[in-house]
Structure 1
């Protein structure tokens, strides 16, 4: 009996959910497609009907959760009177709030951080770097607008400010996910982002 498109999509999502659990428990390199099929309750043939190989599954998981810097650029930046740094601060803080409560996002990002990108997974790292470079350019572009509007301190360039923000976000998330979640990501992370953004602003002149 031929499956409907909805049934096929449901099976695909079932396989991805199973892969997420298996990869999180065993690591991507040590997991097998047979284990993914068993966890999903489907045959290996069903897995390979939806995905060419383990790398294909891994990339789909990767694409399902945006990286921290991906959410830092909002449509609000298009407004001429936008406070660029305020928009970036709010988006970054909101992303940390979401990560702190979204267990699926936590698992997938942990899988990405633990993955060994040598050997067969080298192309995956290259794809991630390409996406990362694109996000970096978007953030730099937003901060260039901030500089043009006089919203960025002269001691920062758009490039250096974008790098510092990205490093902070990645560092916060990596340490929290990999080292026992020993601090309040939402509260302390938001405070850190607020202080970081404040350091990017020009000093207010006193009369």
Structure 2
């Protein structure tokens, strides 16, 4: 059940009473998106944070030359948003797009502010969520500075195996800071290396 998925996600960080869970049910909206639908657009204030029930989403930046750069990917049981815009309620610099038919539970900024008073544990949850997102972005920056392309992809594959299987190679490549063609070469080299290692072992 999607609702169970959501509350199990909350339980990773906080404990909620039955009354608090019922209050949260009244906060969320359940939304469906088709492939290519935008959950948030650059230049608009991002008023929602989204919990993915099913499907996948990318968060990306478009530079002055029109090139797209993926800064976050999300699949089932993930939270996605332009967090800078959501927290500050200033116009977004990022786009949030469904990569396939996707369903979410969405929480609005305004309703969350009121809910924090009623459900203090909810404020703690979203604070920890934002902290985790910040740590993840920092780790990604450090990896881009200290790892080569092969190491970055292997780290991604090990850390997010479901995402590696579900999301198109071009989006993973953009997230890792390389072209889809170059990622294809990286994967081919890894396969050849692993095949050679298996032969040596056998």
Under a length normalisation based on structure 1, what TM-score does the superposition of the two structures give?
A: 0.30
Structure with greater helix percent: 1
Higher strand share: 2
TM-score by length of 2: 0.31
